[in-house]
Chains A and B, each alone.
Chain A
Amino acid sequence: MSAPVIETRQFIAGYERDLPIVNGIDFTLAKGEFVAIFGPNGAGKSTFVKALAGVVPVFGGEAFLNGEPIGGLKPHAILKRGMAFVPQTENIFTTLSIHENLQLAAAPLVRSAQGPAIRRMLDMFPDLARQSGRLAGSLSGGQRQMLAVARALLLEPSVLVLDEPSAGLSPKLVSDVFSTLREISATGVTILLVEQNVRAALRIVERGVVLVDGRLRFDASAEALSSHPDLGALFLGADHASEGAA
């Protein structure tokens, strides 16, 4: 088995120390894996990945990225160590152009590597390349997600973490975003995804974990999760019961 890219032990995080949202999660993500985190609203999915990325305070336990402890580090320091996080909303700078967003993301690289890295992303996302001078605030929801993913991939992170990339998108755009993620995963990039859109996500990921009340309750292959008879009722909440069981 390959070495874990992300590993957490009894990981505790949240917004208030006395009221942690993530309550002792043991989780492992191996190199090259494509894993989704599911769970009902308030389960702690987003808080878990935000805490891994340094956006939400960590109150206990341990978190490792490629074997290095990252608990309590600032977001820019965690990015430097190889984890690129794409928030659910407000994930690009709307007052900067597409090109400026990518320039900003490339800033941690040495100057000579910045241009090629930006060109590589524009080649990967030709729709962005065609309008690179345009203000990012004028892009559609799907284009914004593509730009957010492009900036995250620019530094060639060892793991890409996304918080509900399909939120607020039309079914067509969800399909576009997910096929892009599948293509990225096929190139060997490790991906961790928080998703509410269970049915669509299970079609592209290899493994799924289910969080309930800030704890990891279920960890299985996408195939096993898709066919689990009680999954919807037990783990995804009433809203998603029919979808999860489908």
Chain B
Amino acid sequence: MNPQVVIDGLIAGSMIGLGAIGLTLVYSILRFPNFAHGEMIAWGAYFAMSLSALIGAVIGGAGAPIAPFSFGWGLVLATIIAMGLTALLALAVDAVLFRIFRKRQSVMIIIVMASFGASMALRSLLEFIYTSRPGYFTRELQIAMPLGGGMRATPDQLFALGLTALLVVFVHLLLTRTPTGRAMRAVSENPSLSGLFGVDVDKVIRTVWILGAALACAAGVMSGLLVQIRPYMGFDLLLPLFAAAILGGIGSVPGAIVGGLIVGLGEALAVQFVGAQWRAGVAFAILVAILLVRPTGLFGRQA
């Protein structure tokens, strides 16, 4: 086995894991699989690309690479603003779509279909604005550094891994150590009782959209930095995201990231051993195998 599979798998897995955190949080609080979550990844990347270009045009030198990375501080600033814009987009979609169905207490399949519709509309809008031609944050070429054991990675890839670790620790601490996290865990267990405890459930729902969208944006920027930016980039990640969220156990942040890494590694192994066309199939075979042994996922609660 080529040991490079491990690095490739971890990098793909970290992007999947970050996206899956938002998906799993929305599922555990709002009780529906949000198929429009992939579009938050794509919109986040496009927001960051546009803002990065704007910042570069207004402030000279903002786009100059910070060695050893391929990007400048303009992209860092653009990503932070893009996370806010993606959160606003998620809140807007909730306000004009999901909140209406929640108030009507619509059955889950209607909300799922609405999320499909939102996904298509958001993706079409991206194509309309940016066309389907791929975009890039930078045209800089990077040389992969040897890491030992036959593995190599570019500085950008190591940055993506480090940023994922930081974001996961941040979200984990937020959920386990802060009043906001306690309120989120409470709403996840019992929304009706949460209100009786004084929790503003609508505020918790807004927090979940903001958090999920901001993380999706980060995943989109990483994907754009390491691969390319396309309107379908989020949609293509959607099934691995679901696989990671289910594999890790719905509602579990550590589960989503571990699930993401397993799916990423599974895909990388599939590419090496059985061919790239079997990538998704192998990831799902792992998913099914684990769920047969542990139906609640790796870190999920027993019903």
Contact = CB atoms under 8 A, between A and B. Distances in A.
B197 interface: yes
A120 B182 CA distance: 21
Interface string A57-88: 00000000000000000111001100011110
Contact of A90 (B190, B195, B201): B190
A158 to B, nearest CB: 15
B189 A155 contact: no
Contacts of A103: 179, 182
A74 B192 CA distance: 10
Contact of B195 (A76, A84, A91, A93): A76
A96 B186 contact: yes
B199 interface: yes
A184 interface: no
A104 B192 contact: no
B197 A104 contact: yes
B185 A95 contact: yes
Given A94-B189, A104-B182, A55 B198 contact: no
Nearest to A100: B182
A91 B185 CA distance: 15
A18 B301 CA distance: 39
A144 interface: no
B96 interface: no
A74 B182 CA distance: 20
Q: Which of B195, B196, B199, B201 has the most CB of A within 10 A?
A: B196
B183 interface: yes
Interface string B180-208: 00110110011011011111110000000
Contacts of B179: 103-104, 107
A53 interface: yes
A84 B197 CA distance: 8
A74 B195 contact: yes
A98 to B, nearest CB: 13
B199 A87 contact: no
A93 B196 contact: no
Interface string B125-149: 0000000000000000000000000
Main secondary structure of the interface of B (DSSP, over half): helix
Nearest to B199: A76
B195 A151 contact: no
Contacts of B183: 104, 107
Contact of B201 (A76, A87, A93): A76
A107 B182 contact: yes
A54 interface: yes
A204 interface: no
A55 B195 contact: yes
A90 B195 CA distance: 13
Nearest to B179: A107
A108 interface: yes
B198 A96 contact: no
Contacts of B196: 53, 55, 75-76, 79, 84-87, 91
Nearest to A101: B197
Contact of B185 (A84, A85, A96, A105): A96
B140 to A, nearest CB: 47
Given A93-B190, A95-B301, A79 B182 contact: no
A80 to B, nearest CB: 7
B238 to A, nearest CB: 28
A76 B199 CA distance: 6
A151 B197 contact: yes
Interface in B257-299: none
Contacts of A79: 195-198
B198 A107 contact: yes
Contacts of A105: 197-198
A107 B199 contact: yes
Contacts of A155: 198
A104 B186 contact: yes
Nearest to B301: A95
A151 B199 CA distance: 13
Contacts of B182: 96, 100, 103-104, 107
B193 A80 contact: no
A85 B198 CA distance: 11
A107 B196 CA distance: 12
19 contacts: A55-B192, A55-B196, A75-B195, A76-B197, A76-B201, A79-B195, A80-B198, A87-B196, A91-B193, A91-B196, A94-B189, A95-B301, A96-B186, A100-B182, A103-B182, A104-B179, A104-B182, A105-B198, A107-B183
4 interchain residue pairs of minimum CB distance: A75-B195, A108-B198, A79-B198, A76-B195
